[in-house]
Amino acid sequence: MNKVIEENFVNSYVIKNKRERLLFELWGKKRRDGIGRFSHCADNLIDDSKIRFKGQYISNDLKEIVATTNTSKCYVISWYEELDGKEFNKDDVLDLLLGCGMPSIAIFDDFVIIETEQEQGPAIKYFLQK
C-alpha cells in the first residue's frame, strides 16, 4: 500500500468531511470494508466538481484519454487482494479492473477511474479529474 498516493487521492477527490474516516479505514484492518463502503456510498463521498463522467460504460473517448496520458503506470485500490496496492501498466489496467464485479479505483497522475460494486446490471463507473 502506498499511503502517499492514497492520501493524495482522498484529499483530491473525496469531500472534506469524509476524508479522515475513509483514510482510517483504508489504512487499517478494515481496508476491505472501507473499499466496500466507498463503493456503496460513492455519490456521497466524491467531490461532485471532480466528476467528468458517471455511467455504466466507459466510452471510447475516455479510453483514449487513458491511452494518451503521459503516465505509463497507475496505482490501484481494489477489493481484490491480488490487485490492491499495486501499480499496473496503463494499457492493461482497464481490462484488469472493469467488469470484475467488485470495487476498484485506478489512480493516475491527473485523473481517477472508479468502478463500483456490481449489484444489478453493469456497475457504475466514474471518471474523475482534478
Q: Residues 37-46: pLDDT tens digits?
A: 888 888 899 9
Q: How many residues does the chain have?
A: 130
Overall domain count for the chain: 1
Query: What is the reported pTM?
Result: 0.88
- Quick: pLDDT tens for 6-62: 999 999 999 999 999 999 999 988 898 889 888 888 889 999 999 999 988 777 777
Q: Which domain holds residue 25?
A: 3-129
The bridge status of strand 104-107 relative to strand 111-115 is antiparallel
- Quick: pLDDT tens for 83-117: 999 999 888 887 787 767 788 999 998 899 998 88
CA distances 98 to 10, 35, 58, 63, 117, Å, are 21, 16, 9, 12, 10
